[in-house]
Amino acid sequence: MAREKILTAPAAADTDRQRDAALRPKLLREVVGQQKVADRLQIAVNAAKKLKEPLGHILFDGPPGLGKTTFATVLPNELGSTIQMTSGPALSKPADLLPFLTNLETGGILFIDEIHRMPRVVEEFIYPAMEDFRIDIVLGEGVNARTINMKLKPFTLIGATTRSGMLSGPMRDRFKMQEHLEYYTVDELARIVAINARKLDLPMQPDAAVELARRSRGTPRVANSRLYWVRSYHAGYPDAAEGPVTAELARRALDMQEVDRDGLDKQDRRYLETLIDVFGGGPTGVEAIGATMNIANDTLTDEIEPYLLREQFIVRSPRGRIATPRAFELLGRMPPKPNGGPATLFD
Ligand code: ADP
């Protein structure tokens, strides 16, 4: 069971990521939403080009699928430079960073995803690289150890994290810009869906794009994955209509996939069912929910909970997660009474 969990979750994420890459905007002006972030980046890019300086180091944080990697990959296109990509868990020791740092060209970008998972030794190794574009390499051991100081070409580090709170203070302070990405509005997601439907040569009516957007958990990555499903449904379902995707067809496709009218999918509902039916609505620690659902705690806190929190299906308390009346209503369960009941919002 545990093994199955470990194998299936990343596999699903991989196909999503490959599809994402195909639909990713290439330039800042193609990016929809996150307007203030995009505006600030445009200024930084213009300044870097005019002053002929590398862009300052940038940290993006926010829930998965909101565009951290997208912004990172757009920047080298804007600057006419190159990008190398790695991630915190892949960098277990300073030597793992060396090839990236030494391959950097002047003004190049090094992107580190999940930077909060980079071990402390690597973090400390990277500080002088960020500050002075140099690294200290220790050769040999014990009394024979020597430190060589190596100069690097001026570059830009872009970090992405779903947990900015887990990043150390010194690491965070070394980023010149820190940009937080927020969930998208239905309107913004509908624009993204319409653009991506065109990229996929899928004719779609505007209200169908809105229907998909409403049911995408505020997240472009989810919108893309819903769009791919609707495309398959449109092409493959026996009595699916000819012609463009209509709102009705989009609705049927998403109903079939068990995505509900709020955009929650089976996994989201299973979370709420566990919290309500097993734990009486909470308060319950995330570990207990994870163990019952057989899902890693990180997946719960990084991928499932942020949207449920934002939409107030759950709230966080010092004693754990609590289901709100909205969650009880969604599942058709009787909400507990405010004074008494197994769990209330205010106990
Ligand atoms: P993150 O790195 O935050 O997990 P990504 O940058 O990989 O998220 O975004 C997932 C996908 O969503 C992208 O590949 C892209 O297709 C789409 N996307 C994200 N942000 C935007 C945006 N602002 N405009 C258009 N598409 C976007």
CATH number of the domain to which 248 belongs: 1.10.8.60
**Pair 271, 287 in one domain:** yes
> How confident is the prediction for the chain on average, in pLDDT?
91
Residue 336 lies in a domain: no
Look up the domain containing 322 and give its range.
266-331
What is the count of structural domains for the chain?
A: 3
Nearest Cα neighbor of 290 from 282, 281, 280, 300 is: 300
Q: Write the pLDDT tens digit of every residue in 68-124.
A: 999 999 999 999 999 999 999 999 999 999 999 999 999 999 999 999 999 999 999
pLDDT, mean of residues 165-172: 92
Question: How many angstroms separate the Cα of 323 from the Cα of each of 300, 340, 347?
Answer: 15, 15, 12
pLDDT band at 13 (very low <50, low <70, confident <90, very high): low
**Pair 116, 70 in one domain:** yes
Ligand 1 centroid – CA 336 distance (Å): 39
Higher pLDDT, 9 or 188: 188
Q: Write the pLDDT tens digit of every residue in 196-250.
A: 999 999 999 999 999 999 999 999 999 999 999 999 999 987 776 678 999 999 9
pLDDT band at 297 (very low <50, low <70, confident <90, very high): very high
Residue 347 lies in a domain: no
Residue 344 lies in a domain: no
189 lines ligand 1 (CB under 6 A): no
Residue 145 lies in a domain: yes
Ligand 1 centroid – CA 267 distance (Å): 21
**Pair 244, 150 in one domain:** no
**Pair 14, 105 in one domain:** yes
Ligand 1 centroid – CA 195 distance (Å): 13
Q: Are 130 and 155 in contact (CB under 8 A)?
A: no
**Pair 11, 89 in one domain:** yes
**Pair 273, 319 in one domain:** yes
pLDDT in the model for residue 215: 96
Measured from the Cα of 70, ligand 1's closest atom is 6
Q: Report which residue type is found at 314.
A: I
**Pair 251, 211 in one domain:** yes
In 265-323, where does DSSP find H-type helix? 266-273, 286-293, 297-299, 305-310
**Pair 166, 272 in one domain:** no
pLDDT band at 26 (very low <50, low <70, confident <90, very high): very high
**Pair 34, 158 in one domain:** yes
81 lines ligand 1 (CB under 6 A): no
**Cα torsion angle, 157, 159, 165, 166, sign:** negative
Residue 68 lies in a domain: yes
**Pair 81, 139 in one domain:** yes
Q: Is 221 a catalytic residue?
A: yes
**Pair 107, 203 in one domain:** no
Domain boundary among 202, 237, 256: 256
In angstroms, rounded to a whole number, what is the distance separating the alpha carbons of residues 277 and 132?
56
Domain boundary among 230, 256, 282: 256
In angstroms, rounded to a whole number, what is the distance separating the alpha carbons of residues 207 and 209?
5
**Pair 168, 193 in one domain:** no
Total number of residues shown for the chain: 347
Residue 289 lies in a domain: yes
pLDDT in the model for residue 145: 87
CATH assignment of the domain containing 163:
3.40.50.300
Domain boundary among 136, 163, 180: 180
- Residue 11: pLDDT over 90: no
Residue 342 lies in a domain: no
174 lines ligand 1 (CB under 6 A): no
E strand or H helix at 85, and its extent? strand 83-87
Measured from the Cα of 21, ligand 1's closest atom is 14
CATH assignment of the domain containing 304:
1.10.10.10
pLDDT band at 338 (very low <50, low <70, confident <90, very high): low
pLDDT in the model for residue 143: 85
Residue 94 lies in a domain: yes
